[in-house]
Protein backbone atom coordinates (compact mmCIF):
# COMPACT_ATOMS: atom_id res chain seq x y z
CA UNK A 1 0.00 0.00 0.00
CA UNK A 2 1.34 3.42 -0.81
CA UNK A 3 2.33 5.91 1.86
CA UNK A 4 -0.48 8.42 1.15
CA UNK A 5 -3.12 5.81 1.84
CA UNK A 6 -1.34 4.40 4.86
CA UNK A 7 -1.12 7.85 6.43
CA UNK A 8 -4.82 8.47 5.75
CA UNK A 9 -5.76 5.14 7.32
CA UNK A 10 -3.65 5.89 10.40
CA UNK A 11 -5.87 8.92 11.06
CA UNK A 12 -9.11 7.03 10.40
CA UNK A 13 -8.16 4.23 12.79
CA UNK A 14 -7.91 6.58 15.75
CA UNK A 15 -11.32 6.87 17.39
CA UNK A 16 -11.96 10.61 17.74
CA UNK A 17 -15.71 10.67 18.43
CA UNK A 18 -16.60 14.14 19.74
CA UNK A 19 -17.69 13.99 23.33
CA UNK A 20 -15.51 11.00 24.23
CA UNK A 21 -12.35 12.16 22.45
CA UNK A 22 -10.98 13.69 25.64
CA UNK A 23 -11.65 10.79 28.04
CA UNK A 24 -10.61 8.11 25.54
CA UNK A 25 -7.41 9.98 24.68
CA UNK A 26 -8.46 9.79 21.01
CA UNK A 27 -8.07 13.53 20.48
CA UNK A 28 -4.51 13.56 21.84
CA UNK A 29 -3.56 10.42 19.91
CA UNK A 30 -4.91 11.83 16.65
CA UNK A 31 -3.26 15.22 17.18
CA UNK A 32 0.01 13.41 17.91
CA UNK A 33 -0.26 11.37 14.72
CA UNK A 34 -1.03 14.48 12.65
CA UNK A 35 1.79 16.41 14.25
CA UNK A 36 4.23 13.50 13.68
CA UNK A 37 3.25 13.36 10.01
CA UNK A 38 3.72 17.12 9.69
CA UNK A 39 7.06 17.12 11.51
CA UNK A 40 8.28 14.28 9.37
CA UNK A 41 7.85 16.41 6.26
CA UNK A 42 9.60 19.35 7.88
CA UNK A 43 6.70 21.66 8.70
CA UNK A 44 7.02 24.03 11.64
CA UNK A 45 4.61 22.21 13.95
CA UNK A 46 3.08 23.27 17.24
CA UNK A 47 0.34 21.79 19.37
CA UNK A 48 -1.84 24.04 21.52
CA UNK A 49 -4.21 22.89 24.21
CA UNK A 50 -6.54 25.83 24.81
CA UNK A 51 -8.80 23.37 26.60
CA UNK A 52 -7.23 20.43 28.42
CA UNK A 53 -7.27 17.26 26.35
CA UNK A 54 -8.39 19.11 23.20
CA UNK A 55 -5.24 19.72 21.17
CA UNK A 56 -5.09 21.93 18.09
CA UNK A 57 -2.21 21.25 15.73
CA UNK A 58 -0.73 24.13 13.76
CA UNK A 59 1.73 23.17 11.03
CA UNK A 60 3.20 25.88 8.86
CA UNK A 61 5.35 26.19 5.81
CA UNK A 62 6.47 29.80 5.78
CA UNK A 63 7.57 31.79 2.80
CA UNK A 64 10.19 34.50 2.74
CA UNK A 65 7.99 37.34 3.90
CA UNK A 66 6.01 36.41 6.97
CA UNK A 67 4.06 39.68 6.71
CA UNK A 68 2.21 38.45 3.67
CA UNK A 69 -1.11 36.76 4.25
CA UNK A 70 -1.22 33.02 4.62
CA UNK A 71 -3.41 30.37 3.12
CA UNK A 72 -5.13 28.34 5.79
CA UNK A 73 -6.06 24.73 5.21
CA UNK A 74 -8.37 23.82 8.01
CA UNK A 75 -10.42 20.85 9.05
CA UNK A 76 -11.66 18.95 12.04
CA UNK A 77 -10.36 15.60 13.17
CA UNK A 78 -13.31 14.74 15.42
CA UNK A 79 -16.01 12.47 14.03
CA UNK A 80 -19.63 11.71 14.85
CA UNK A 81 -20.55 8.51 16.75
CA UNK A 82 -21.73 5.43 14.89
CA UNK A 83 -23.88 2.36 15.46
CA UNK A 84 -21.31 -0.44 15.05
CA UNK A 85 -24.12 -3.01 14.72
CA UNK A 86 -25.44 -1.16 11.64
CA UNK A 87 -22.05 -1.25 9.96
CA UNK A 88 -21.14 -4.28 7.88
CA UNK A 89 -17.45 -3.44 8.42
CA UNK A 90 -15.59 -2.28 11.52
CA UNK A 91 -16.02 1.53 11.50
CA UNK A 92 -12.41 2.01 12.56
CA UNK A 93 -10.98 -0.71 10.33
CA UNK A 94 -8.69 -0.15 7.41
CA UNK A 95 -10.15 -2.22 4.59
CA UNK A 96 -10.86 -0.21 1.46
CA UNK A 97 -10.60 2.97 3.48
CA UNK A 98 -13.87 2.32 5.22
CA UNK A 99 -14.26 4.06 8.52
CA UNK A 100 -15.79 6.91 10.42
CA UNK A 101 -14.23 10.13 9.15
CA UNK A 102 -13.16 8.85 5.73
CA UNK A 103 -15.41 11.52 4.13
CA UNK A 104 -16.04 13.84 7.08
CA UNK A 105 -13.26 14.87 7.06
CA UNK A 106 -10.03 13.04 7.77
CA UNK A 107 -9.66 12.55 4.00
CA UNK A 108 -9.14 16.30 3.65
CA UNK A 109 -6.63 16.48 6.50
CA UNK A 110 -4.64 13.56 5.11
CA UNK A 111 -4.77 15.07 1.60
CA UNK A 112 -3.61 18.48 2.91
CA UNK A 113 -0.64 16.82 4.64
CA UNK A 114 0.23 14.89 1.49
CA UNK A 115 0.08 18.10 -0.58
CA UNK A 116 2.36 19.86 1.88
CA UNK A 117 4.76 16.91 1.74
CA UNK A 118 4.88 17.20 -2.04
CA UNK A 119 5.20 20.99 -1.91
CA UNK A 120 8.04 20.72 0.61
CA UNK A 121 9.75 18.01 -1.39
CA UNK A 122 9.39 19.33 -4.90
CA UNK A 123 8.68 23.03 -4.63
CA UNK A 124 11.15 23.93 -1.91
CA UNK A 125 13.46 25.58 -4.46
CA UNK A 126 10.67 27.63 -5.95
CA UNK A 127 9.90 29.31 -2.68
CA UNK A 128 10.56 32.69 -4.28
CA UNK A 129 7.92 31.87 -6.82
CA UNK A 130 5.28 31.61 -4.13
CA UNK A 131 6.21 35.10 -2.97
CA UNK A 132 6.55 34.09 0.60
CA UNK A 133 2.93 33.30 1.30
CA UNK A 134 2.79 30.77 4.07
CA UNK A 135 0.60 27.71 4.18
CA UNK A 136 -0.80 26.67 7.48
CA UNK A 137 -2.64 23.50 8.25
CA UNK A 138 -4.81 23.49 11.33
CA UNK A 139 -6.63 20.37 12.37
CA UNK A 140 -9.19 21.20 14.99
CA UNK A 141 -11.62 19.35 17.21
CA UNK A 142 -15.18 19.49 18.46
CA UNK A 143 -16.55 20.75 15.12
CA UNK A 144 -19.24 18.09 15.31
CA UNK A 145 -20.45 19.47 18.65
CA UNK A 146 -20.37 23.17 17.80
CA UNK A 147 -16.64 23.94 17.65
CA UNK A 148 -16.64 26.34 20.63
CA UNK A 149 -13.56 24.70 22.21
CA UNK A 150 -11.88 24.29 18.82
CA UNK A 151 -12.04 26.97 16.13
CA UNK A 152 -14.22 29.15 18.38
CA UNK A 153 -11.41 29.57 20.92
CA UNK A 154 -8.55 29.40 18.44
CA UNK A 155 -9.64 32.45 16.37
CA UNK A 156 -9.49 34.54 19.55
CA UNK A 157 -5.80 33.81 20.22
CA UNK A 158 -2.85 36.05 19.39
CA UNK A 159 -1.26 33.02 17.82
CA UNK A 160 -4.10 32.83 15.31
CA UNK A 161 -3.77 36.56 14.58
CA UNK A 162 -0.02 36.08 14.03
CA UNK A 163 -0.79 33.65 11.19
CA UNK A 164 -2.30 36.57 9.25
CA UNK A 165 -4.71 34.31 7.38
CA UNK A 166 -5.74 35.77 4.01
CA UNK A 167 -7.93 32.94 2.82
CA UNK A 168 -9.05 29.57 4.11
CA UNK A 169 -10.24 26.24 2.78
CA UNK A 170 -12.50 24.17 5.00
CA UNK A 171 -14.85 21.25 4.52
CA UNK A 172 -17.64 20.92 2.00
CA UNK A 173 -19.62 17.81 1.12
CA UNK A 174 -19.08 14.84 -1.16
CA UNK A 175 -21.02 14.91 -4.42
CA UNK A 176 -22.83 11.99 -6.09
CA UNK A 177 -22.37 13.68 -9.50
CA UNK A 178 -19.40 15.16 -11.35
CA UNK A 179 -20.28 18.61 -9.99
CA UNK A 180 -18.61 19.63 -6.74
CA UNK A 181 -20.39 22.06 -4.40
CA UNK A 182 -18.39 25.01 -3.09
CA UNK A 183 -19.81 26.62 0.02
CA UNK A 184 -19.31 30.36 0.38
CA UNK A 185 -21.62 30.82 3.34
CA UNK A 186 -23.81 28.92 5.68
CA UNK A 187 -27.03 29.33 7.55
CA UNK A 188 -26.90 30.82 11.01
CA UNK A 189 -27.75 28.24 13.65
CA UNK A 190 -30.10 29.08 16.50
CA UNK A 191 -31.39 26.95 19.31
CA UNK A 192 -34.20 28.51 21.28
CA UNK A 193 -36.39 27.36 24.11
CA UNK A 194 -39.81 28.65 25.13
CA UNK A 195 -40.77 28.04 28.72
CA UNK A 196 -44.39 28.55 29.73
CA UNK A 197 -45.64 28.82 33.27
CA UNK A 198 -49.30 28.73 34.22
CA UNK A 199 -51.93 27.79 36.75
CA UNK A 200 -51.86 24.36 38.28
CA UNK A 201 -54.46 22.23 39.96
CA UNK A 202 -56.51 19.07 39.70
CA UNK A 203 -56.98 17.90 36.14
CA UNK A 204 -60.73 17.56 36.66
CA UNK A 205 -61.00 21.36 36.40
CA UNK A 206 -60.86 23.85 33.52
CA UNK A 207 -57.93 26.25 33.95
CA UNK A 208 -57.51 27.01 30.27
CA UNK A 209 -56.44 29.26 28.70
CA UNK A 210 -53.91 29.98 31.45
CA UNK A 211 -52.38 26.55 31.74
CA UNK A 212 -48.72 26.17 30.75
CA UNK A 213 -49.70 23.40 28.34
CA UNK A 214 -52.18 25.57 26.47
CA UNK A 215 -49.66 28.36 26.21
CA UNK A 216 -46.88 26.16 24.89
CA UNK A 217 -49.33 24.49 22.54
CA UNK A 218 -50.28 27.88 21.05
CA UNK A 219 -46.59 28.78 20.64
CA UNK A 220 -45.92 25.48 18.89
CA UNK A 221 -48.89 26.03 16.57
CA UNK A 222 -47.49 29.42 15.57
CA UNK A 223 -44.01 27.93 15.10
CA UNK A 224 -45.39 25.16 12.90
CA UNK A 225 -47.36 27.69 10.84
CA UNK A 226 -44.12 29.65 10.32
CA UNK A 227 -42.39 26.39 9.42
CA UNK A 228 -45.04 25.53 6.86
CA UNK A 229 -44.54 28.86 5.03
CA UNK A 230 -40.85 28.04 4.58
CA UNK A 231 -41.47 24.36 3.84
CA UNK A 232 -43.66 25.44 0.91
CA UNK A 233 -40.71 27.26 -0.66
CA UNK A 234 -38.62 24.11 -0.23
CA UNK A 235 -41.27 21.93 -1.85
CA UNK A 236 -41.40 24.42 -4.73
CA UNK A 237 -37.73 23.81 -5.41
CA UNK A 238 -35.85 26.47 -3.41
CA UNK A 239 -32.47 25.14 -2.25
CA UNK A 240 -32.41 24.18 1.45
CA UNK A 241 -29.48 26.57 2.02
CA UNK A 242 -31.65 29.51 0.92
CA UNK A 243 -34.61 29.03 3.25
CA UNK A 244 -35.26 29.07 6.98
CA UNK A 245 -35.77 25.70 8.58
CA UNK A 246 -37.53 25.58 11.91
CA UNK A 247 -38.03 22.32 13.72
CA UNK A 248 -39.62 21.55 17.03
CA UNK A 249 -36.95 19.30 18.54
CA UNK A 250 -37.92 18.96 22.19
CA UNK A 251 -41.06 19.03 24.32
CA UNK A 252 -41.03 18.77 28.08
CA UNK A 253 -43.94 18.90 30.50
CA UNK A 254 -45.86 16.85 33.03
CA UNK A 255 -45.73 16.31 36.77
CA UNK A 256 -43.28 13.59 37.66
CA UNK A 257 -41.52 12.61 40.86
CA UNK A 258 -39.33 9.84 39.46
CA UNK A 259 -37.41 11.66 36.75
CA UNK A 260 -39.91 10.98 34.00
CA UNK A 261 -40.60 7.26 34.45
CA UNK A 262 -44.19 7.99 35.40
CA UNK A 263 -46.37 11.11 35.25
CA UNK A 264 -49.26 12.22 37.40
CA UNK A 265 -51.90 12.46 34.69
CA UNK A 266 -54.42 14.03 37.06
CA UNK A 267 -52.26 17.13 37.70
CA UNK A 268 -52.21 20.15 35.41
CA UNK A 269 -48.48 20.92 35.13
CA UNK A 270 -47.39 24.44 35.98
CA UNK A 271 -44.51 24.41 33.48
CA UNK A 272 -44.06 23.31 29.89
CA UNK A 273 -41.13 23.74 27.56
CA UNK A 274 -40.55 23.52 23.82
CA UNK A 275 -37.17 23.61 22.10
CA UNK A 276 -36.49 24.55 18.48
CA UNK A 277 -33.63 24.28 16.01
CA UNK A 278 -33.70 27.16 13.54
CA UNK A 279 -31.35 27.72 10.58
CA UNK A 280 -31.32 31.11 8.89
CA UNK A 281 -29.85 31.76 5.43
CA UNK A 282 -27.30 34.57 4.98
CA UNK A 283 -29.80 36.49 2.86
CA UNK A 284 -31.14 37.57 6.26
CA UNK A 285 -28.31 39.75 7.57
CA UNK A 286 -30.08 41.71 10.30
CA UNK A 287 -30.33 38.89 12.78
CA UNK A 288 -31.17 41.14 15.71
CA UNK A 289 -34.37 42.36 14.01
CA UNK A 290 -35.10 38.84 12.82
CA UNK A 291 -34.84 37.54 16.38
CA UNK A 292 -37.23 40.18 17.69
CA UNK A 293 -39.74 39.47 14.93
CA UNK A 294 -39.55 35.73 15.47
CA UNK A 295 -39.91 36.08 19.22
CA UNK A 296 -43.02 38.22 18.75
CA UNK A 297 -44.43 35.86 16.15
CA UNK A 298 -44.06 32.81 18.39
CA UNK A 299 -45.18 34.30 21.71
CA UNK A 300 -47.61 36.99 20.47
CA UNK A 301 -46.87 38.84 23.70
CA UNK A 302 -48.63 36.24 25.88
CA UNK A 303 -47.91 36.41 29.60
CA UNK A 304 -45.96 33.67 31.31
CA UNK A 305 -43.78 32.70 28.39
CA UNK A 306 -40.05 32.98 28.74
CA UNK A 307 -37.97 33.12 25.57
CA UNK A 308 -34.48 31.64 26.01
CA UNK A 309 -31.81 31.86 23.32
CA UNK A 310 -29.50 28.94 24.05
CA UNK A 311 -27.23 29.36 21.10
CA UNK A 312 -27.63 32.02 18.44
CA UNK A 313 -25.37 33.80 16.00
CA UNK A 314 -25.83 37.56 15.75
CA UNK A 315 -23.67 37.98 12.64
CA UNK A 316 -23.40 35.67 9.66
CA UNK A 317 -21.27 37.09 6.86
CA UNK A 318 -20.69 35.10 3.67
CA UNK A 319 -17.57 35.03 1.55
CA UNK A 320 -17.81 37.38 -1.41
CA UNK A 321 -17.95 35.81 -4.85
CA UNK A 322 -17.22 39.13 -6.52
CA UNK A 323 -13.86 38.69 -8.20
CA UNK A 324 -13.14 42.38 -7.79
CA UNK A 325 -13.39 42.02 -4.03
CA UNK A 326 -12.09 38.51 -3.67
CA UNK A 327 -9.07 37.66 -5.79
CA UNK A 328 -8.80 34.29 -4.07
CA UNK A 329 -12.15 33.33 -5.55
CA UNK A 330 -10.99 34.34 -9.01
CA UNK A 331 -7.95 32.07 -8.63
CA UNK A 332 -10.03 29.27 -7.13
CA UNK A 333 -12.43 29.30 -10.07
CA UNK A 334 -9.59 29.35 -12.62
CA UNK A 335 -7.93 26.34 -11.04
CA UNK A 336 -11.17 24.38 -11.15
CA UNK A 337 -11.60 25.35 -14.80
CA UNK A 338 -8.05 24.20 -15.61
CA UNK A 339 -8.72 20.91 -13.83
CA UNK A 340 -12.01 20.42 -15.69
CA UNK A 341 -13.79 20.40 -12.35
CA UNK A 342 -17.31 21.76 -12.44
CA UNK A 343 -18.17 23.64 -9.26
CA UNK A 344 -21.50 24.85 -7.93
CA UNK A 345 -21.42 27.72 -5.40
CA UNK A 346 -23.92 27.12 -2.61
CA UNK A 347 -24.89 27.94 0.95
CA UNK A 348 -24.02 25.15 3.36
CA UNK A 349 -27.24 23.85 4.92
CA UNK A 350 -25.72 23.18 8.35
CA UNK A 351 -22.96 24.78 10.42
CA UNK A 352 -19.19 24.28 10.08
CA UNK A 353 -16.07 25.83 11.59
CA UNK A 354 -15.94 28.19 8.58
CA UNK A 355 -18.39 30.50 10.32
CA UNK A 356 -15.80 31.45 12.95
CA UNK A 357 -13.40 32.53 10.20
CA UNK A 358 -16.02 34.43 8.22
CA UNK A 359 -17.06 36.22 11.40
CA UNK A 360 -13.45 37.53 11.49
CA UNK A 361 -13.86 38.69 7.86
CA UNK A 362 -11.56 35.99 6.53
CA UNK A 363 -12.79 34.67 3.18
CA UNK A 364 -13.36 30.96 3.45
CA UNK A 365 -14.68 28.29 1.10
CA UNK A 366 -16.04 24.89 2.07
CA UNK A 367 -14.64 22.47 -0.47
CA UNK A 368 -14.28 18.69 -0.30
CA UNK A 369 -13.20 17.63 -3.79
CA UNK A 370 -14.70 14.15 -3.86
CA UNK A 371 -17.07 14.05 -6.86
CA UNK A 372 -18.94 10.98 -8.13
CA UNK A 373 -19.07 9.65 -4.59
CA UNK A 374 -22.02 8.48 -2.56
CA UNK A 375 -22.52 11.01 0.25
CA UNK A 376 -21.92 9.12 3.52
CA UNK A 377 -21.31 11.96 5.97
CA UNK A 378 -22.53 10.73 9.38
CA UNK A 379 -23.91 7.55 7.70
CA UNK A 380 -23.36 3.84 8.29
CA UNK A 381 -20.51 2.21 6.35
CA UNK A 382 -18.82 5.55 5.58
CA UNK A 383 -16.04 4.98 3.05
CA UNK A 384 -14.01 6.70 0.39
CA UNK A 385 -12.87 4.99 -2.81
CA UNK A 386 -9.08 5.07 -3.05
CA UNK A 387 -9.04 6.56 -6.57
CA UNK A 388 -11.30 9.40 -5.41
CA UNK A 389 -8.98 10.07 -2.49
CA UNK A 390 -5.89 10.09 -4.72
CA UNK A 391 -7.67 12.43 -7.15
CA UNK A 392 -8.54 14.80 -4.29
CA UNK A 393 -4.81 15.12 -3.55
CA UNK A 394 -4.19 16.16 -7.16
CA UNK A 395 -6.99 18.74 -7.00
CA UNK A 396 -5.83 20.19 -3.68
CA UNK A 397 -2.22 20.32 -4.84
CA UNK A 398 -3.07 22.34 -7.95
CA UNK A 399 -5.36 24.54 -5.88
CA UNK A 400 -2.74 25.26 -3.22
CA UNK A 401 -0.03 25.97 -5.80
CA UNK A 402 -2.31 28.40 -7.63
CA UNK A 403 -3.57 30.07 -4.47
CA UNK A 404 -0.13 30.71 -3.01
CA UNK A 405 1.04 32.25 -6.27
CA UNK A 406 -1.73 34.78 -5.94
CA UNK A 407 0.33 37.82 -4.97
CA UNK A 408 2.79 38.93 -7.62
**Positions that interact with Zn ion (CB under 5 A):** 104-105, 171
Q: Which is nearer to Zn ion, 224 or 350 (CB)?
A: 350
Least distance (Å) between residue 343 CB and Zn ion: 19
Q: Which is nearer to Zn ion, 104 or 291 (CB)?
A: 104
Least distance (Å) between residue 44 CB and Zn ion: 26
Residue 242, SS3?
Answer: helix
Least distance (Å) between residue 328 CB and Zn ion: 22
Burial of 380 (0-12, 13-18, 19+ CB in 10 A): middle
Q: Which is nearer to Zn ion, 104 or 114 (CB)?
A: 104
Least distance (Å) between residue 170 CB and Zn ion: 9
Q: Which residues contact 238 (CB under 8 A, 6 or more apart)?
A: none
C-alpha span between 165 and 162 (Å, rounded): 8
Residue 202 in marked binding region:
no
Residue 380 in marked binding region:
no
SS (H, E, C) 99-129: CCCCCCCHHHHHHHHHHHHHHHHHCHHHCCC
Residue 171 in marked binding region:
yes
Q: Which is nearer to Zn ion, 180 or 274 (CB)?
A: 180
C-alpha span between 380 and 82 (Å, rounded): 7
Residue 230 in marked binding region:
no
Least distance (Å) between residue 105 CB and Zn ion: 5
Catalytic residue among 143, 170, 271, 291: 143
Tell me phi and psi for residue 264, to 5 degrees. Answer: -80, 100
* Residue 293 annotated in active site: no
What is the Cβ-side half-sphere exposure of residue 228, based on CA atoms within 13 angstroms?
6
Residue 217 in marked binding region:
no
Q: How many residues does the chain have?
A: 408
C-alpha span between 75 and 150 (Å, rounded): 10
* Residue 242 annotated in active site: no
Q: Which is nearer to Zn ion, 63 or 101 (CB)?
A: 101
Burial of 151 (0-12, 13-18, 19+ CB in 10 A): buried
Residue 101 near residue 37, CB atoms below 8 Å? no
Catalytic residue among 4, 78, 271, 353: 78
Q: Which residues are annotated as a binding site for Zn(2+)?
A: 76, 104, 144, 171, 378
Q: Among all residues, which ones are annotated catalytic?
A: 78, 143
Q: Annotated binding residues, as ranges? A: 76, 104, 144, 171, 378
Amino acid sequence: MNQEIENFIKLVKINTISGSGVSSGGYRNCAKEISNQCREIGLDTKTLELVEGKPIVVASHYGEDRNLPSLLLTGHYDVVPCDPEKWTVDPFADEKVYGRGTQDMKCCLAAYIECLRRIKGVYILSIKKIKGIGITLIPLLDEEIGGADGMGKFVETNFFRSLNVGFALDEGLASPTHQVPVYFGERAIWWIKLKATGDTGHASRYLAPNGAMEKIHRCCDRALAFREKEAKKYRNGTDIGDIITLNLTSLKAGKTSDGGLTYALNVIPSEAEAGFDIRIPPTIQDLVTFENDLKNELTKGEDGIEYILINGMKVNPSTSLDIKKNLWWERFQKTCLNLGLEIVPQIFPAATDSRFLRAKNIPCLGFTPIPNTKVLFHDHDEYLPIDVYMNSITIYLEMIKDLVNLVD
